[in-house]
Each structure stands twice: as C-alpha cells, then as structure tokens.
Structure 1
Amino acid sequence: MRIFKEFKEFAVKGSMMDMAIGIIIGASFNQVIDVLVKKILLPPLSLMTDGLNYQDKKLVLRELVTNTNGEIVSDEVAIGYGAFLEAGLDFLIIGFTVFVVVKFLNSLKNKAHDPNDKTVKTPKDIELLAKLSDLMEEQNKLLKEKK
C-alpha cells in the first residue's frame, strides 16, 4: 500500500505530468530532427558527393547467394554504417539543440533568481531569502558595533 501512496504523491506533485509533457515534446522533437537530417541536410551532402545515399552505405561481409531458380540460399550479411552515420548526425544535432535550450533556460533562471535584477520578476522564496540575508548582515553589523 505504501507504493500506491508514494505514486499518488508523485502524480499529485506534478512530476508525472512534467515527465509526460517532456516525453511528448521529446518525441515530436525527434521527428523534427529526423526530417531535418534526412530531408534537408543529407540531400545537399549527397549532391556534393555525386548522389551518394548515406543510408544505403554498408560494408558487405557476405554476399547474397541465390541458386539457379533465383531462390535465396543465404542472406547478405552487412554492416550498415551509413544508417549509423545518420543516427550520429541526429544525435549531434539533438545534443547541440538541447545544450542551447538548457543554456538559454539557465540564463533565464539565473536572471529570475537575482533579487537585484528588476527586469524579471523574482520568485517569492528568493525574495524572502534575499531579505533574510540582508537582515542577518544588518544584525551582525549591530552586534559587532556593541562589542
């Protein structure tokens, strides 16, 4: 029963909703990057290399073997390094984009957590902590003066 209570707390706190939203956005973002790589970046690259299609690139370890009737006797065994290159390019683009987004969000967060910066509304907890810090410094000064 304790696990159900923990799950309820997890769901009510919004963590589950945040995670679900992140997964949905991530899946959509993956589709965008996939189209970006396959339909926008790779065609010009293929054009520069005389129509080379990277997804079809492979290192054949064993050729396809057929008999006289055209039936397959043994399948081709190949390492598809072209698909790996595309996936690597996808990964690099996604990684760089996530880096830029996180860097931007961190700069906004840092701005919001600076109580002296009035261009962005500072959260209440940060304002209270800043006031508390100022009051403690003032109190320490008063105590030092009494000595």
Structure 2
Amino acid sequence: MLKEFKNFIMTGNVIDFAVAVIMAGAIGLVINGFVADIIMPIVGEFAGGVDFANLKYVLTETSGTEGEAGYVAENAVRWGAWVNTIVNLLIVGFVMFLIVKAYNKT
C-alpha cells in the first residue's frame, strides 16, 4: 500500500498539479497587489479621485465608544471592495488564459 501511494504521488500529474497550485497562489498574490496598488488607484483617479476600497453603503451607523457598554459597530455593505475583487478576478482570468494559450502553443 505504501509503495502504491509512493507511485501515485510520484506520477507527473500529481507533481504538476502541486506546482500549479503553488504557482496559482503566488500569481494570485502578485495580481491582487497589482490590482489594489496600481490598477484601482488609476481607475479611481479617472472616476474623480475615488478610492474604491473605501466605498460603502452604511446600513447602521456606529454608536457609542468601542469597548464600552452599548457600543454598536458600523454595519455596511462594502461594495467598493467588491468592485476591487471583480477587477482582480478579471485580471486573474486573463493571465490564466494567456498562460494556457502559451502552454498549448508548445
């Protein structure tokens, strides 16, 4: 049984999959930084100087002082962060498309 497991793990498909998962995580971090630090400030500038990460629709305002009795935290729909996530998804999808397209050419 241990020998079968070793043969399974050492097959090319499993190793390739493991490398792909690690690379996808690294690419995701790079793209997330690219979107948050480069793309969205440019988009925000063209939208009139808006920082999308901080855009929200407040449902309940904060009341009281944090740590004291009767404190109510703000409840808000953070739609700007969601816009950032959508842009991130589109860029990740495009990068993965380019990687697969380049791989299929060889």
TM tier, smaller: 0.7 to 0.9
Q: 1:61 — aligned with what?
A: 59
**Residues in 2 aligned to 1:95 and 1:26: alpha-carbon distance in whole angstroms:** 11
**Residues in 2 aligned to 1:36 and 1:100: alpha-carbon distance in whole angstroms:** 17
Q: 1:36 — aligned with what?
A: 34
**Residues in 2 aligned to 1:37 and 1:20: alpha-carbon distance in whole angstroms:** 26
CA offset digits 1:93-130 (Å, max 9, x no partner): 1101111221222222xxxxxxxxxxxxxxxxxxxxxx
CA offset digits 1:35-86 (Å, max 9, x no partner): 211111111122223321111111111111116xx94621111111111111
Residue identity matched to 1:39: D
Q: 2:102 — aligned with what?
A: 104
TM-score norm. by structure 1 comes to 0.62
- Secondary structure at 2:92 match in 1: helix
- Deviating above 6 A after TM superposition, structure 1's stretches of 4 or more consecutive aligned residues are none
**Contiguous gaps of at least 5 residues in structure 2:** none
Residue identity matched to 1:42: M
**Which protein shows a greater Rg?**
1
Residue identity matched to 2:74: E
- The number of aligned residues is 104
Q: Does 1:10 align with 2:8?
A: yes
- Secondary structure at 2:50 match in 1: coil
- Secondary structure at 1:50 match in 2: coil
Higher relative contact order structure (alpha carbons within 8 Å, sequence separation ≥ 6): 2
CA offset digits 1:124-145 (Å, max 9, x no partner): xxxxxxxxxxxxxxxxxxxxxx
Displacement of 1:6 in angstroms is 4.6
**Residues in 2 aligned to 1:23 and 1:34: alpha-carbon distance in whole angstroms:** 16
TM-score norm. by structure 2 comes to 0.83
**Residues in 2 aligned to 1:56 and 1:101: alpha-carbon distance in whole angstroms:** 32
Displacement of 1:5 in angstroms is 5.2
